[in-house]
Structure 1
Amino acid sequence: MEPLNPYPPRFMLNVDKLLPCHSVDCVIIGYDKGALSVLVLKWKDLPLWSLPGGFIKIDEHLDDAALRILKDRTGLDMPFLTQFHTFGQAGGKRMSVESDIRELIKSNYPSIGTWFENRFITTGYLAMVQPSECRLVPDELSESCVWMPIKDLPELIYDHNAIVDQAIAHVKRQLNYLPVGKSLLPETFTMKTFKLLYESILGRELDRANFQKKMLKLGMLTRRGKENKGGAHKAPYLYSFDHDKYQELLEKGIGFIP
């Protein structure tokens, strides 16, 4: 089989400046049309899907590497970003898939050499963004960078599906302490949209009246008038976050999880 590309990607030209055996993978979550989505990459000329990720420069802080990867893929500078887990299980799917990927890379990018010969551990980062604000750019090994509903994710390389599952579990556990609404919702939103966001995270329906009562009681929402959609139906109110109150509640733990 002829190599797809005899030249390595740009990042491989100076591997001596990269931290060996350690990578960063980013679970970038967006919310659109009532569903949580994750940003994924389709590899060039290969039937592979993966999370956005990359390597760490020797003189680079781990958080800065994640921020760099996030900006490269989405064009965003400072959205919400947090480290949530480190993955490095020996054996199992990760090692068997790593072996397959190494062979693919060696056959298609022979000049990369032995960089992928060693076992890697990866640090997982969670980002929450608004898809409408992103300018998506694939990396050098990928042909496209797309949003995909979490429930429709294909099989991803390595243990990336497990990384996504762990990220969502982290959001559920830390729901009182993460800026979920502020990060994923637009500047103004309806109470229905807010409720649907929480339902998509928790995986269950919430009582409409109880949800609205509790969220209004927290004092972090400001009513902004009614949504103008036309038609005969009663227009719902729009809300926005009181940012100071929202931050105060986050620091204490919003105390929501119904």
Structure 2
Amino acid sequence: MPKKRPSNKDFDNEEVFPQLSLDCVIFGFNDGTLKVLLLKWKGTEYWSLPGGLIRQSEDIDNAAIRILQERTGLGQIFLRQFHTFGKIERYDNQKIISKLSHVIDPESWYDRAISIGYYALVDYAEVFPNPDQFTDECQWWILEEVPELLFDHNEILKKALHSLRLELSYQPVGYNLLSEKFTMPEMMRMYEAILGSKIDPRNFQKKILNSGIVIKLNEVKKGLAHKSPNLYMFDKVKYQQILEGGGLFII
């Protein structure tokens, strides 16, 4: 996000924390692939992660929730703070200013900015992407196809994915990325997309069923060319007990 001090109009006459911002990595899962929500800046082909500034009157977590709700349209969002980015030279400031001078007054940029990183897990089908005041588009990108981003946002995205992988066994990942009803192959592909590697399907299904975190429904997924697989949904209480009791290890 732009590392500038906004006018009072930008934040309803509320003061913000100078030189401190949030950058948010919003993950979704669709068609067997992990996706991330990106913004395209006005009048350019440059993309970046969503983000924003923190009002003096709000908690940092609440600021992240506000920013994520503005970009996704969702009321309930799972998010985790994963890292603070505070290098003295995070990126080439002058190069960024030259690319975005038509959007933001060059005199408004800070010489240095510190950013708190959050990642969010959302149900792809429930998101209504919304651009912000600096951008023309807000779109999903397949993770492997993400272009060169502005600022140090490729580094932030890489760090967010690493953090998600480390916490995979201890966070309700499936409950937040999958639809309410899902098939076992869909769940397995979700984990494969996050890990970037293949999983043995027989061992995976056995571990998931033995864990008790899913309930098999008397329904199948229709409209497929091959045999229709069974649908499942999460047992939220059991899922939370497993996570709090040591984690869900699927590989």
Answer yes or no: is 1:215 the counterpart of 2:208.
Answer: yes
* CA deviation after TM superposition for structure 1 residue 107, in Å: 5.2
Q: Quick one: distance in 1 between partners of 2:85 and 2:94?
A: 17
Per the alignment, in what secondary structure is the counterpart of residue 109 of structure 2?
helix
Could you say which residue in structure 1 is the equivalent of 2:78? 80
Could you say which residue in structure 2 is the equivalent of 1:101? 96
1:227–1:43 CA distance, 2 compared to 1 (3 A): same
* CA deviation after TM superposition for structure 1 residue 9, in Å: 10
1:228–1:85 CA distance, 2 compared to 1 (3 A): closer
* CA deviation after TM superposition for structure 1 residue 12, in Å: 7.2
| 2:22–2:64 contact (8 Å) kept in structure 1 | yes
**RMSD of aligned Cα (Å):** 2.2
Q: Quick one: distance in 2 between partners of 1:107 and 1:229?
A: 50
Q: Tell me which stretches of 4 or more aligned residues in structure 1 moved more than 6 Å.
A: none
Structure 1 residues 49-68: aligned runs within 5 Å = 49-68=47-66
Comparing 66-75 with 101-110, greater Cα deviation is found at 101-110
| 1:102–1:117 contact (8 Å) kept in structure 2 | no
* CA deviation after TM superposition for structure 1 residue 102, in Å: 2.7
Counterpart of 2:135 in structure 1: which amino acid?
S
Note the residue ranges of structure 2 that are not aligned, 5 or more in a row. 1-6
Q: Quick one: distance in 2 between partners of 1:190 and 1:174?
A: 23
Could you say which residue in structure 1 is the equivalent of 2:139? 146
Q: Quick one: distance in 1 between partners of 2:31 and 2:188?
A: 13
Q: Quick one: distance in 2 between partners of 1:122 and 1:250?
A: 29
Counterpart of 2:19 in structure 1: which amino acid?
C
* CA deviation after TM superposition for structure 1 residue 135, in Å: 1.6
Counterpart of 1:189 in structure 2: which amino acid?
F
- Please tell me whether Structure 1 or Structure 2 has the larger radius of gyration of its CA atoms: 1
| 1:9–1:140 contact (8 Å) kept in structure 2 | no
Q: Quick one: distance in 1 between partners of 2:221 and 2:91?
A: 54
C-alpha distance after superposition, 1:129-148 (max 9, x if no partner): 01211121100010010000
Structure 1 residues 125-144: aligned runs within 5 Å = 125-144=118-137
C-alpha distance after superposition, 1:187-236 (max 9, x if no partner): 11111001101111111111111000011010111000242425774321
Could you say which residue in structure 2 is the equivalent of 1:41? 39
Could you say which residue in structure 1 is the equivalent of 2:10? 11
Identity of matched residues, %: 43
Q: Quick one: distance in 1 between partners of 2:25 and 2:111?
A: 24
Comparing 228-237 with 242-251, greater Cα deviation is found at 228-237
1:139–1:232 CA distance, 2 compared to 1 (3 A): closer
TM-score with structure 2 setting the length: 0.91
* CA deviation after TM superposition for structure 1 residue 61, in Å: 0.9
Matched length: 246
1:45–1:182 CA distance, 2 compared to 1 (3 A): same
Note the residue ranges of structure 1 that are not aligned, 5 or more in a row. 1-7
Per the alignment, in what secondary structure is the counterpart of residue 223 of structure 1?
strand
TM-score with structure 1 setting the length: 0.88
1:229–1:125 CA distance, 2 compared to 1 (3 A): same
